[in-house]
Amino acid sequence: MKNSMKLFSMLMLSAILVLSACSSGSAESDYPSKNVELVAPATPGGGWDATARAMQNVMDSEGLVEQNINVVNKPGGGGEVGWQYLKGQDSHSLAINSSLVIANNLLGQSDLTYEEFTPLAVLATEWISVAVPAESDIEDGIDMLDRLKEDPKSLKIAVGPALGNNDHLSFVRVADEYGVDVSQLEFMIYESGGDVLTALLGGHVDVATLSISESLEQHLSGNLNIIATTADKPIPEDESIQSWQDQGIDFTFPHWRGIMGPPDMTEEEIAYWDETFSKMVETEGWQKVLDNNGWEDYYMNSEETKAFLDEQNEMYDGLMKKAGLTE
Amino acid sequence: MRRLLDVSLETKINGILIGVITLIIVSLSAFYLYHSSNEYYDNARRLTLQSAKTISFLPALIDGEDLSDNEKIQTLTNQYIFENDIDFVIVKNREGTILSHPDPSMIGEHEPYDEDARANIFGAYYTEKTDKYIEPSIMAMAPIYAGDEVRQLSGVVKVGYFESKIIEKIMDKLYQLSFMILTFIILSFFISRWFGKYIKSETLGYEPKEITMILKNRENIFSALDEGIMATDLSGKIIYVNEAAQKYLGIPGTADLDGCNIHEYFGSDIEKVLENSEDKPGLSYFETHLNDKEIVVIVNDLYEKEELSGHVLILRDMTEMSELSNKLTIVESLFDDLRAQSHEYKNRLHLISGLLEMEKYHGIRGVLNDEINNLDSHQNNLYGIEEDRIKALLIAKMNTANERRVELNIDDESQMDSISDKATINALITIISNLIDNAIEAVAEVSEPEISFYIGYFDGWLEVVVEDNGSGISDEDKVFEKGYSTKNGGINRGYGLYNVTVNVELLGGYIDIKSREGKTVFTVEIPLLQGGEMDDENPYS
């Protein structure tokens, strides 16, 4: 008995030594050892997809990653499908995320929590806009809120890809504070940001809440009209766009996007991406992407991102429990 | 605490066993109960949430544009309740109008959004504990979406599960567990009773304290004994030694007995005895010398459950005993010699009386002169021997020899100092007495029997030489073995020369025997310096 125990512990010890030798060896020299997969958990054309493809471009053209980078679209369930997919992959798959990775769980739409993944970075933020078709008679944000206050069902509001995302939350938050009965608002839910835009341009809805990156181009070309943003400063492309603050409602709301890896990434792998992303956000190519999309640099490394996610989780939890109950 | 522990062994074992088993069972059960309670709640949550989701996706709800067909929904939910293990379903449209409710009278009433607002505003799926409806329950909320490509919230489904049902299940489990706990405790009671009895039977019914007492007493008794007592297992490993035995064997009192083997101490002697004992079990013994002491070792077999399990060795110090017997022998032989002398003198007196009768007075003078010369010559030769006991022995032996018509000549160069050490003188007496007796016996059938004796010092050794013209010895090696004898029968025959060897070895000397040309010479050399002291420095000793 004694002997077998001794033998066993020796075996264990040697196994640990061998294993640790293997993992440290491979991580230092080999990672990433094959093509890197960037998961965009949405259909092509939305904000997540745009982020993934921009990253692919910049990292490829700057030669930051030796291996090829492929973007994979996994739409569905407000990101759930893509992230569920990521959970089963190895450390060569990364996925774009946003506040939905927190909100989905709080909304009971997903058993996944942000804590199950490895946070790698927050990359950029943008602001959220409320837009109406160009031919709409809604003049500005306050006009819209007044109409909703009078009859919450009077306007159809487009949102995508799911209730509880930042576009939706920020709209509910503003309306709630203005005294609108938010439980009666008529939200039309579309599969992606692209669909929301199409619905608005097609006149299927009266109002849409969506990222500025998604609405700005059409705004500038005159196809729609942005009546409010959650920004804390003017939009450089068109400084005439009014924020909620400009209209007398003290409210700002960043819509951040980040990137995360599958569970249990090693410290070496995390360090690799910290280095890569910190280089990427410094490149001119990335600055151009930010400018083109109306995004702002919001870079945080893996450690800061983790703290940020904890903080956001608390914020969303409070928001959801309070909204609709204030009246 | 002290008093608690001060109970009988059986009670202690019972207490500990029952206590430990009860503790384990109760804590395991508590853990199991806690775990399954959690599981029941989780299951209730999962079940209600799943049901709420399922109902919210029912085509009847999704298709009804404004959820207007109350009756259809009511039928549907009732059916669902019937088919599933849930207790109530409430369906509300966006305005808060109740479309389906366990209490039909509530249908059509307005109920403002409260705990279900998260589902209605954010489309959240979640569960909550509530006592808003009927009785405390776990309630799951699910939003109802209408539409396909474009979806829209159209209401909320709430599915409840009574908490009392969960508690009932937990109580059921608790009841089962208590029954099991009780069974196990009773079982453990019997097991511990049996175990306690078993232990008690193993200790022959003694309490540990009593066993300690018995062992201490045994130790004391054995220590008080003069006889050494040792116990060994079958391989010869020593498992017990008392104080006296330790003294005989020269083991220090504190020494660890682990790994000590009796073969280290007794060598071939014990092997022979043990081999014999395999054939005929029972008492056997052998003699040996340990630390200058003559020890008789009695070997007895040790049995456990009628199977040989080892040996008990009893060590008896025979030094004093043999000293005593030596003395007895000497006294006996002196007595014999006196008798021989008186007989001799009686013969002379008869001779003188006869000569007187015949008036041959010259003859009388001759006999008397002979006698006087004879006495003188003996005395002369013994001058050099200062040790009185040896001298007495030699005179006695000379008389014995004389009686048997054997001429015993003491070499006139013989010399010996007096010796103070009793053991040495005893050994010497044994050696000399036996050698001379042996020589007298050896020459018994020779026509002109003659024995010469020499004792003296040479180069740090005391030399004893006994020479006879007897029949000689055929096997010079065998002669020293116990029981070897050329003499005819007799009980004590064969031990003489063996005793000589034993004593020579005891004194650290040598014995040599040469038998040729009608002469047999025994030479004994003892490392003894002139002056009577043993020569401890002698390199050959």
If you average pLDDT over residues B406-410, what whole number do you get? Answer: 84
Q: Is the pLDDT of residue B461 over 80?
A: yes
Chain A: closest CA distance from residue B187 (Å):
30
Nearest to A188 among B94, B95, B150 (CB): B150
Confidence (pLDDT) at B479: 61
Chain A: closest CA distance from residue B148 (Å):
10
Least confident of B52-56, B66-70, B148-152, B244-248: B66-70
The domain defined by A31-125+255-322 carries CATH number 3.40.190.150: yes
User: Residue A107: its chain B contacts at CB < 8 A?
Assistant: 118, 122-126
Size of the A and B interface in Cβ pairs below 8 Å: 70
Chain B: closest CA distance from residue A158 (Å):
9
CATH topology classification for A127-229: D-Maltodextrin-Binding Protein; domain 2 (3.40.190)
b vs e for A282-318, b when ≥16 Cβ sit within 10 Å of the residue's Cβ?
eeebbeebbeebbbeebbbbbeebbebbeebbeebee
User: Residue A159: its chain B contacts at CB < 8 A?
Assistant: none
If you average pLDDT over residues B395-403, what whole number do you get? Answer: 80
Q: Is the pLDDT of residue B388 over 70?
A: yes
Is A124 within 8 Å of A290 (Cβ atoms)? Answer: yes
CA angle A87, A91, A94 (to 5 degrees): 65
Is the CB of A190 less than 8 angstroms away from the CB of B145?
no
Q: Which residues contact B303 (CB under 8 A, 6 or more apart)?
A: B309
User: Residue A188: its chain B contacts at CB < 8 A?
Assistant: 147, 150-152
CA gap B155, A146 in Å, rounded? 24
pLDDT bracket for residue B299 (50, 70, 90): confident
Same fold, A31-125+255-322 and A127-229: yes
CA gap B54, B525 in Å, rounded? 118
Q: Is the pLDDT of residue A72 over 60?
A: yes
Residue with tokens 């010796």: B419
User: Residue A182: its chain B contacts at CB < 8 A?
Assistant: 121
Is the CB of A188 less than 8 angstroms away from the CB of B152?
yes
Chain A: closest CA distance from residue B94 (Å):
6
Angle between helices B361-381 and B319-357 (to 10 degrees): 160
User: Residue B124: its chain A contacts at CB < 8 A?
Assistant: 106-109, 163-164, 320
Residue A324: closest C-alpha in chain B = B117
CA gap B137, B81 in Å, rounded? 15
pLDDT bracket for residue A22 (50, 70, 90): very low
Nearest to A107 among B94, B123, B145 (CB): B123
Q: Considering only residues 82 to 141 of chain B, which have any Cβ-Cβ distance to chain A shorter than 8 Å?
A: 94-96, 113-114, 117-118, 120-126
Least confident of B120-129, B440-449, B452-461: B440-449
Least confident of A152-166, B84-98, B103-117, B383-397: B383-397
Nearest to B152 among A183, A187, A325 (CB): A187
CA gap A195, A188 in Å, rounded? 11
Q: Is the pLDDT of residue A21 over 60?
A: no
Q: How many CB atoms lie within 10 A of CB B391?
A: 18
Q: Is the pLDDT of residue B485 over 70?
A: no
Chain A: closest CA distance from residue B48 (Å):
13
Is the CB of A186 less than 8 angstroms away from the CB of B121?
no
Q: Is the pLDDT of residue B293 over 90?
A: no
Nearest to B94 among A107, A184, A199 (CB): A184
Q: Among A222, A221, A185, A220, which Cα is nearest to A205's? A: A185
Is the CB of A199 less than 8 angstroms away from the CB of B150?
yes
**Residue of A80, A100, A105, A107 to mutate for B, most B C-beta atoms under 10 A:** A107
Nearest to A323 among B49, B121, B143 (CB): B121
CA gap B20, B11 in Å, rounded? 14
Confidence (pLDDT) at A1: 45
User: Residue A189: its chain B contacts at CB < 8 A?
Assistant: 123, 145, 150-152
The alpha-helical segments, DSSP class H, found in B255-360 are 262-279, 319-357
Residue A162: closest C-alpha in chain B = B123
User: Residue B154: its chain A contacts at CB < 8 A?
Assistant: none
Tokens encoding B275: 């081999």
Whole-number Cα distances in Å, B138 to A198, A308, B126, B135, B141: 42, 33, 11, 10, 10
Is B496 within 8 Å of B484 (Cβ atoms)? Answer: no
Confidence (pLDDT) at A2: 46
Higher pLDDT, B12 or B256: B12
Q: Is B150 on the interface with A (CB under 8 A)?
A: yes
CA gap B475, B488 in Å, rounded? 17
How much of chain A, in percent, has pLDDT values that exceed 70? 90
Q: How many CB atoms lie within 10 A of CB B128?
A: 16
Confidence (pLDDT) at A28: 46
Confidence (pLDDT) at B218: 85
If you average pLDDT over residues B439-460, what whole number do you get? Answer: 85
Confidence (pLDDT) at A53: 92
Nearest to B122 among A164, A190, A199 (CB): A164
Is the CB of B121 less than 8 angstroms away from the CB of A324?
yes
Beta bridge partners of B454: B465
Amino acid at residue number B149: E
Q: Among A248, A222, A244, A241, which Cα is nearest to A232's? A: A244
Confidence (pLDDT) at B443: 84
Chain B: closest CA distance from residue A324 (Å):
6
Residue with tokens 């969303």: A316
Confidence (pLDDT) at B258: 66
How much of chain B, in percent, has pLDDT values that exceed 90? 14
CA gap A186, A158 in Å, rounded? 9
If you average pLDDT over residues A116-122, what whole number do you get? Answer: 94
Tens-place pLDDT, residues A230-276? 988 888 888 889 999 999 988 888 888 899 999 989 999 999 999 99
Confidence (pLDDT) at B161: 93
Nearest to A320 among B124, B147, B153 (CB): B124
**Residue of B121, B144, B149 to mutate for A, most A C-beta atoms under 10 A:** B121
Residue B127: closest C-alpha in chain A = A108
Is the CB of A321 less than 8 angstroms away from the CB of B152?
no
Residue ranges and CATH numbers for the domains of chain B are: 41-168 (3.30.450.20), 216-317 (3.30.450.20), 321-526 (3.30.565.10)
Confidence (pLDDT) at B281: 64
Confidence (pLDDT) at A12: 59
pLDDT bracket for residue B378 (50, 70, 90): low
- Beta strand pairing status for B98-100 and B293-304? unpaired
Classified as helix, coil or strand, B96 is coil
pLDDT bracket for residue A5 (50, 70, 90): low
Report the residue count for chain A: 327
Give Cα B496 to chain centroid, integer Å. 41
Classified as helix, coil or strand, B289 is strand
Tokens encoding B205: 């019914």
Q: Is the pLDDT of residue B228 over 90?
A: no
Give the residue extent of every domain in chain A: 31-125+255-322, 127-229
User: Residue A162: its chain B contacts at CB < 8 A?
Assistant: 123
Classified as helix, coil or strand, A238 is coil
Question: pTM value?
Answer: 0.58
If you average pLDDT over residues A132-138, what whole number do you get? Answer: 91
Tens-place pLDDT, residues B8-26? 878 888 888 888 888 998 9
Q: Is the pLDDT of residue B539 over 50?
A: no
Classified as helix, coil or strand, B405 is coil
The mean of the pLDDT values for chain A is 85
pLDDT bracket for residue A287 (50, 70, 90): very high
Least confident of A24-28, B337-341, B342-346: A24-28
Classified as helix, coil or strand, B366 is helix
User: Residue B126: its chain A contacts at CB < 8 A?
Assistant: 107-108
Confidence (pLDDT) at A126: 84
CA gap B511, B500 in Å, rounded? 9
Tens-place pLDDT, residues B15-70? 888 888 889 989 999 999 999 999 999 999 999 999 999 998 888 777 655 566 67
pLDDT bracket for residue A310 (50, 70, 90): very high
DSSP B106: G
Residue with tokens 């299927």: A204
Q: Is the pLDDT of residue A92 over 90?
A: yes
* Highest mean pLDDT of the ranges A21-25, B188-192, B276-280: B188-192
User: Residue B50: its chain A contacts at CB < 8 A?
Assistant: none
Residue A164: closest C-alpha in chain B = B122
Q: Is the pLDDT of residue B540 over 50?
A: no
Confidence (pLDDT) at B410: 85
Tokens encoding B290: 């340990």
Higher pLDDT, B137 or A77: B137
Least confident of A207-221, B126-140, B459-473: B459-473
Tokens encoding B126: 């979640």
pLDDT bracket for residue B99 (50, 70, 90): confident
